[in-house]
Chains A and B, each alone.
Chain A
């Protein structure tokens, strides 16, 4: 292990343990939200690694949230099964629709997934049965594992941590070794990868499926943590926030989206006193960031080295 890695691991462990040290209701709340949002950011990160900006990720998150919430509340499915469905359903949807839309590259893909994300949210709004329309779904049962209900924020935080760690390991496995080489090849020189007998579309569809599954996990956790969900939580603005986390953290590093979430989730709380100005200040700080720090925190770290 290189020294820089040990430092990084120490920082990560420290950050993860902060809520246990401070132990305030609000700190737990923010910590859980950071975990949920970093899962969404991670799912977007995976797509960025093959050079395709997918703006439908929050839509997949919504699919996971609605699937998990409806199954546990109305069908009486146990939480873990509900969450598995919340991962599998968006993944399946991405696999099906991916065959068509992944043929489209670059900017067209971003525009198309933007419309796809909006279309998913419109389905939640339009079909009042079973999705509850604009009011959404209320009284979602809390997470429970093997009869043990995770009512306290501490226990839910641990669940979020474990899920994030698993997702991180999955993404890392995909980005390293031979799959990683294929994925990097897809981003840089697709014809060359294809000339080696590798079916590019199938690989990209695989990545899209996994990324939708991670977004679904984020949605399932969100639904069971909040206890209620409504369509506007999953519109394109949520995806854009996840994209911003990637940009702030740095698109080139796997920890980039996590660092971005850590920095950005508490940010609106800073502007809370100026509620009307929140959106404007957020937009302006993003613009300043893009102008002065286009490579994100990872770029800054690289420059300091």
Chain B
């Protein structure tokens, strides 16, 4: 029982990390709260569905394609919509909400409200120390962790990451150094959306693709970033593990609704002690 709990917590913290990382990356660099983040997850999941059923592609080919589609749409959304609201946080939030409604509406028109099945790439499970780990979930968690590590490297050890951090810290000074914020923003937004799309494509074979999956993911992302400190990437990673532990623990003991209520109470408790979140700076 306890080993199984550890497995569930470990597997879900990996996907939580991927979702929250994209969200907090976009906020950290652009100060934009992407309320449509859950809908980019939706795009990723349905991209896999289309790739499998329309074009007969293998899941392993569809996976990177789904991330690219979500990232591409993200770049377009940044140029056409979010860029106008740079520095206007409320305006940016409302545009995100409107975009979320439109994307969800479009998905419902195209595919209906029913959950669409997606062929699992792997089946069966392996047994480690008395706990069963489903192969498909292990694969999803593995890919998620590799991507998190890759983004970490990108931000801290590449010229692009340096440019992004510079723009985040001081856009004006960055421009003096020849870094154009207008070129960095779409890249950052695209990467954030691509991560959401990848997360959607990774969970799609496990839960299926359905129009409401974005909302649940968005709520998880919100809890994680408030818990960890908005814009703080280490905070998001730590909070992902924390939320996954609470979620899976309470879900096993009681049910998912109680788990959601307890995680909200946990947020309130953390805020009582640290209003800026676990690793955030006020």
Contacts and interface: CB of A to CB of B under 8 A. Distances in A.
A106 B260 contact: no
Interface residues of A, number: 42
Interface in A234-250: 240, 243-244, 247
Interface stretch (A3-11, A151-159, A168-176, A282-290): A282-290
Given A110-B93, A290-B98, A115 B109 contact: no
A277 B105 contact: yes
Nearest to B104: A279
Contact of A282 (B81, B89, B91, B101): B101
Interface in A38-85: 48, 53
Given A53-B90, A277-B105, A280-B108, A116 B257 contact: no
B230 A283 contact: no
Contacts of A115: 219, 222-223, 226, 264, 267
Contacts of A118: 219, 260
B162 interface: no
A276 B109 contact: yes
A107 B97 contact: no
Contacts of B98: 244, 283, 286-287, 289-290
B125 to A, nearest CB: 31
Contacts of A289: 98
A122 B260 contact: yes
B271 A112 contact: yes
Nearest to B91: A294
A123 B271 CA distance: 21
B46 to A, nearest CB: 15
Interface of B: 27, 33, 81, 84-85, 89-91, 93-95, 97-106, 108-109, 219, 222-223, 225-226, 230, 257-258, 260-261, 264, 267-268, 271-272, 275-277
Interface of A: 48, 53, 97, 100-101, 103-104, 106-108, 110-112, 114-116, 118-119, 122-123, 125-126, 240, 243-244, 247, 251, 276-284, 286-287, 289-291, 294
